[in-house]
Amino acid sequence: MNSEQKKAILSLKTARGQIEATINMIEEGRYCVDVSNQIIAAQALLKKANLLVLRQHMNHCVKEAFEHDKGSEKIDEIIEILSKITGK
């Protein structure tokens, strides 16, 4: 496991903890704005984890694909992911 993967796992585990805390906050009837801020924090960690995974993909899988003349397939994958991220 490389450093990007380790960092992604850490972000995901932290996000999981925040999501569990958010569920508890809702169940306890906590103030809506506080709940919303907790959700935003979890989303930020998920985005960070996704960027780390994509960085790892670019540095390893995409690089290897270009070395074996299969780069266009990986470009299409990245474009598809970017369209999901940007909502377009």
Structural domains of the chain sorted by starting position, each given as residue range(s) with its CATH number in brackets: 3-86 (1.20.58.1000)
Q: What is the pLDDT of residues 19-38, one digit of tens each?
A: 999 999 999 999 999 999 99
**CA distance readout (Å), 63 to 6, 7, 57, 67, 78:** 20, 21, 8, 6, 13
0.75 cut: is pTM over it? yes
Please tell me the predicted confidence (pLDDT) of residue 78.
92
* pLDDT tens string 46-86: 999 999 999 999 999 999 999 999 899 999 999 999 999 88
pLDDT at 15: 97
Return d(Cα 87, Cα 67) in angstroms, integer. 31
Q: Which of 58, 63, 49 is nearest to 79 (CA)?
A: 58
Residue 45 is predicted with a pLDDT of 97
For residue 32, the one-letter residue type is C
The CA distance from 11 to 14, in Å, is: 5
Q: What angle do CA 2, 18, 35 make, to 5 degrees?
A: 150
